[in-house]
Structure 1
Amino acid sequence: MNTDNMEVIMGLIMEGGNAKGFAVEAIRAAKQNDFSAAKNFLDKSNESLSKAHNVQTNMLTKEAQGQPNEVNLYMVHAQDHLMTAITFRDLAQEIVELYEKIVEKN
């Protein structure tokens, strides 16, 4: 595997990890009724996912142009890591909204 491919893979893993970490922090902030911080963490999570999405778009563009991407266990792991982060972010957003509704009702 060449260095460029490994940098792409590590970028996906890093941004996915950042996105999931920010989503966890959003839930923790919501538990403390700090919804401003929770929304800020969700925004940061979205920024990380956007960066990863741009990497994926570049990969898809190259593939469409006839420049196939090397698929190996590292790439599979990176994609899995990213998809898990997206799912976790979506769930975190729902949890933050639930905490807000609970506070509103009390």
Structure 2
Amino acid sequence: MDEGVSSADSAAAAENTPSEDFTTFSFRIIALAGEAHSFAMQSIKAARAGDFPEAASLLEHAEKDFSDSHDIQTEGLTVQARGVQLPVDILLVHAQDHLTMANMAIENARVFIDLYQKLATATDHPHPMEE
């Protein structure tokens, strides 16, 4: 146990750990972040096809799943901030990787959607990009 954290502090913080075991905790992040990444990539594909309302809808789904995944991560960070050392294993590292990649996919989707909208309205390229 870390010095400066009493067993009473540790026990109280443990009561506030994520409700499931740590494997489930990691898998919840992986599942939601994976969905967020998938929706973001689908939004780029929809924008490329010129379906901008669908691209916007898919991006909203991506952002919602990412936010939910991030909230789960925040639960873990809050527990750790209260003095409970969470186990860091390859599954948690993998979950963090999924969360980061989902964030990047969403950021890239925003850029690509904007670019495809500009291309679609440009006079020298009035049609959506061909596959």
TM bucket (normalised to shorter chain) is: over 0.9
In the alignment, structure 1 segments of 5+ residues that lack a partner are: none
1:73 equivalenced with 2:90 (yes/no): yes
Higher helix share: 1
4+ long deviations beyond 3 Å: none
- Cα distance in 2 for partners of 1:74, 1:7 equals 10
The residue number in structure 2 matching 1:12 is 29
1:86 equivalenced with 2:84 (yes/no): no
TM-fit CA distance, 1:5: 0.6
TM-fit CA distance, 1:77: 0.8
User: What's the TM-score once normalised by structure 2's chain length?
Assistant: 0.76
Q: How many residues align?
A: 104
TM-fit CA distance, 1:69: 1.1
Calculate the aligned-residue CA RMSD, in Å.
Answer: 1.0
In the alignment, structure 2 segments of 5+ residues that lack a partner are: 1-19, 124-131
The residue number in structure 2 matching 1:97 is 114
Contact 2:70 2:99 in 1 (8 A): no
- Cα distance in 2 for partners of 1:70, 1:37 equals 40
User: What's the TM-score once normalised by structure 1's chain length?
Assistant: 0.93
1:43 equivalenced with 2:60 (yes/no): yes
